[in-house]
Structure 1
């Protein structure tokens, strides 16, 4: 017969208590006949065993021959479970109803979370857009549109958001939104010119509106009109706009010392331990003599009792020996350092976007161990800035370049 436990569960099995003079011989005969017997326990009064429902007929046919009696102790498997459920209809109905209610509750959206909103107004706007798109508390998940379609509906109903994403996790719907960045103020529509803010040589003119008044390689002076808002002499005027890139010069005076002194660790150290009570430290270990010049590094415990920090702490201090060191800087290295310092100085003065075209040392001298240098830095930058159009203007004149 089959020894499958699944088959035993589906067809049923029973635990029997067999008594009588031939109980042991009956078990041996069942095994010889190939009847599967499980959980066999022999006692002085009888035998406890478990057989399938199909094997009960073998016991019925053999009980008189061996003079035994048996009693069903426990029934197992689907047939008996079904009978018990039929007898307990209220329990069965309750179990089925519980599973159905649990499934129904898990199929409903119980919470809508808004992520990314800045302030209550933006959150309310996105929540309203979600409700109008069909995503709200109490909605069946099966009735929801696909997340991509929901997001498109919300973006159309939330004008202050540039992107919306929807994700449903169980009974929680998460709506993530990216608000639009407040728009920059519109450019003034008042007619104006673009004039030079500093002297330089024109490299490139990119005019988006207005009349270009300069050419590449032309020297210009501060205040000179680069892009005119007057389209024609005496004609209509517009707010000129564009970029005018020019080569501008900056001079920087820097000084680099050729002898640099510092302090370095020798590797020798001394350790000490203290008991810190309030602001007082009591040395309890480490009485070696410290070097004359030291660098001290402390490590203090952080003992607490609950949230209260104890007034007594343990401090481990390490005193490292420090030795002064002096080294000589090469003149070529000092020149490179001077160029770097001059470039940094120009970036801080020029401001905005700029490109360094080249650097030249105009003058240098060595005096008392220090290199003094005057450095010229050539940069490319936008020198244009808007300026009002004069009420009465004569012919526009080119002016000579100046050096800052």
Structure 2
């Protein structure tokens, strides 16, 4: 009886190594009984053939009648595979559990990205709005519903945005939002003065409303009225406005090392492979720790997907390069230039408005333990005028 390849896989197949004086006669009689033999090889008193496990009893009787012994060398097919799996049932159960976990993880939102929003307050507002309508890390994809309806709900919860778009790709949800453009702020109608915010020397005054009380090259102190909102004695008061540019002084203490440590790569490297399961990273290859202390890491991650569905299981390949450090001595002149640049950058962090550096002077300079220490005075031109309420008139 002839069997199809599917029948061999279903019923099972064994490879027999036969030995005896009448091996040829045994094989001839097996074929006469209609038993299907595959890969038949006969050499003197030995032979080899492959039979279906369903015909094993008949083959056994014929071989015994011809005094031919045989040994089973290979076992293939579903019955043997099932027996092997049963012996390792815990391993099979773990593999099945792993597949179920992967399927469950692929149906959950693992990351929510917000694009098009620069400030952190806006990002937090979008995330809170998305969480209130059911879009958050850990939510099942089947419970999200229609993306168009969901993005309308998010927009209704975020009043500072004019448009919100939602796109889900596998276990990643991407929210793209467009913030409202702030209109021109209305000028205050409450009468007030323009006063000095800090001590300075006046350079120029450009008043658009109010009465100017200072002039160029005049020293002013904090709180001094620069542009008064009171036009004249006994007249009405108005909100003063204008720009008062003055020279302000800032003192910065900076330090610059004369010996600079630079890093470089030697070319030697080791590789590591990681299995990414959501937010988990499991090392699967490259357990040998490198002997070099300093290293530079460069990685590349796969982007496996089925159509538009991004799989939650990815592979990350990491290469660690050996890095070396070398000391480079810079000149004192270059260190001084660097100190002035650091002082200028320090002043920019202190100035609340646009400012122009007028000049710099070194008040103190010292080199100690390979480091240049300087105290730098920086002269800056900036707008020092701030609004302040008009004080009530004092009774005589």
Query: TM-score scaled to structure 1, two decimals?
Result: 0.46
Bigger radius of gyration among the two: 1
TM-score (norm 2): 0.47
